[in-house]
Amino acid sequence: MQQPEEEDRLSVLMDDVLLSILRKVDISTAVRTSSLSTRWRQLPWLLPELSIDVRHFLPVPCPDSIAANDCQQAMVALTKAAKCLFAKPQRKSTITTLQLQLYLISTFLSDIGPLLGDVIDSGLLKDLDLCLLDDLKPGDSSELHMLQLAKDMYGFFNAYPSVFGCLTRLSLHGVCFIELDMHHLLFDCCTQLKHLSLHYCDAGRRSVWKIDAPNSKLSVLEIDTCCFERIDLVCLPELEKLHWDTWVSEYIPLSFGDVPSLGELKLSSSLTYYNTVFKLSELLHGTTSIHTLTLDFQGENLWIQPEMKQLSTAFNKLRKLTLRGIFVEFDIIWTLAFLEAAPTMEILLIEVWDHACSAFVNDEERRSVFAERKNPQWEMDFHCSKNGLLKELQFVGFRSLEQQFVFIRALLGRAPNLQTILLKGAEQCKYCNALDTKSCCSTESSFPKSEDEQAMVARRITDGKSSPRVIFHE
């Protein structure tokens, strides 16, 4: 006999559970579920948070170099998905957050713009997270191309001004602002903007970006490989996080004015012949609330000058300090200057840079950009002052090298309440993994793996004492 058709187990679940499942898949998959049964038909239009990413519509596997036709086809598919999800009368519930990532191609912006405008004007969209991508890789993009992207972006915002009303997060790639009023667009027009990311953007050669926006709601600013000679933060009262990765400047790259909320600062760059070495205290002048600081030297010479007492004012609230990209052959004892300048520090993270991939860089090409690596020489008077609040040391890239033991033992002498030492192996590097090498590490010493090796390292560090606890994590 034919058994009665039973409803599948998923379909009998409540809407909230099914929507939670749909949030975990890409939007094209979520839309296709509407054809499963009448039970699923309306579910994609009930999702309160939508993420529509053009990269989900690219061929799989996605090649490193994306063909122009693939970008076009991906935007066609994205536009169809957006029309489907925003269509009336299916869309009745409010979209609390829309994450929209698309290629900055003018022919498709004229299709996406009206869709966004309608859903915003009808009150169905609260917050918009917009990412405008460049369809070319950064190294392949010419100045004319970047100028055209800026014109297309400006034309899009001018044609659909209602976008400004709910734009809370904006990410731009490969845009040249030399012919636009950058400050007016990002701060006078984007009045609701809280998170701004710029990738491979510029405003002309050796330009200075001056930000004076007392009414801005911006809390996060991320700059990645942008050609600014300097950024002057004159006034950003709600800025909490600032990340700047890779700059080229003959001057101190940053200056601070009225930034009372700034608590997290991350600076990452390699020292080239085109950069200057500066005093960190001068860059931090004007900051009063930094509690988390990250400095990444990307395996090259340090771009900060030796100093200690001068940092005390800027470090008076510092709780976590991260020092990354220290070349593996450098001594690390100089980092104790920061420990004395920051008596409130609770966590110190040190990462040494040891990559096999660097050995494959052409020597002549390297010498044209970077100076020969020299061990930091910080001749400082380290007093016997103690840091009573430091509780944890994290050491990434530990290799049982002598200078690493010297540093840790010296730190123990200045941090009597240190509770935990976490020793980690080298972090994975996609360029090292692509080589025919067993690990990222280029030195002969390796991370202690066996219990005997780890016990020997722990005894050498603590001299047999039970505190601090030494933890190994490969």
Let me know: does 102 contact 132? Beta carbons within 8 Å: yes
* The token pair that represents 450 in the structure block: 């066996």
What span, in angstroms and rounded, lies between the C-alpha atoms of 292 and 265? 6
Spell out the domain ranges in the chain: 34-59+68-85+92-262, 268-373+386-428+446-473
Q: How far is CA 16 from CA 86, 94, 378, in A?
A: 20, 15, 59
Q: What CA–CA distance (Å, rounded) separates 175 from 226?
A: 10
E strands, 410-474, where?
420-424, 469-473
What predicted TM-score, i.e. pTM, was given to this entire model? 0.89
Return the sign of the alpha-carbon dihedral for residues 114, 192, 184, 233. Answer: negative
Count, residues in the chain? 474
How many CB atoms sit inside 10 A of residue 259's CB? 23
Whether CATH 1.10.3720 fits 268-373+386-428+446-473 = no
pLDDT tens, the chain, 474 aa long: 444 444 566 666 677 777 677 777 777 676 666 655 566 666 766 777 888 999 988 887 776 678 888 999 999 999 988 888 887 666 667 889 999 999 998 888 888 999 899 889 888 899 999 999 998 888 788 999 999 999 999 999 999 999 998 999 999 999 999 999 999 999 999 999 999 999 999 998 889 999 999 999 999 999 999 999 999 999 999 999 999 999 999 999 999 999 999 999 999 999 999 899 999 999 999 999 999 999 999 999 999 999 998 999 999 999 999 999 999 999 999 999 999 899 999 999 999 998 766 655 667 777 888 889 999 988 776 666 688 899 999 999 999 999 999 999 999 989 999 999 999 998 777 666 655 554 444 445 789 999 999 999 999 998 877 789 999 997
Distance of CA 32 to the CA centre of its chain: 33
Q: Are 125 and 167 in contact (CB under 8 A)?
A: no
What pLDDT digit, counting tens, does each position of 129-187 carry? 999 999 888 878 899 999 999 999 999 999 999 999 899 999 999 999 999 999 999 99
102 touches 78 (CB < 8 A)? yes
Segment 372-416, tens digit of pLDDT: 999 998 877 666 668 889 999 999 999 999 999 999 999 998 999
- With a CB cutoff of 8 Å and minimum separation 6, the contacts of 314 are 280, 281, 284, 285, 287, 290
**Residue 455 CB contacts under 8 Å (≥ 6 apart), including other chains:** none
Both tokens assigned to 462: 């603590």
For residue 402, give the nearest of 410, 393, 413 by alpha carbon. Answer: 410
The C-alpha atoms of residue 286 and residue 264 are separated, in whole angstroms, by 14
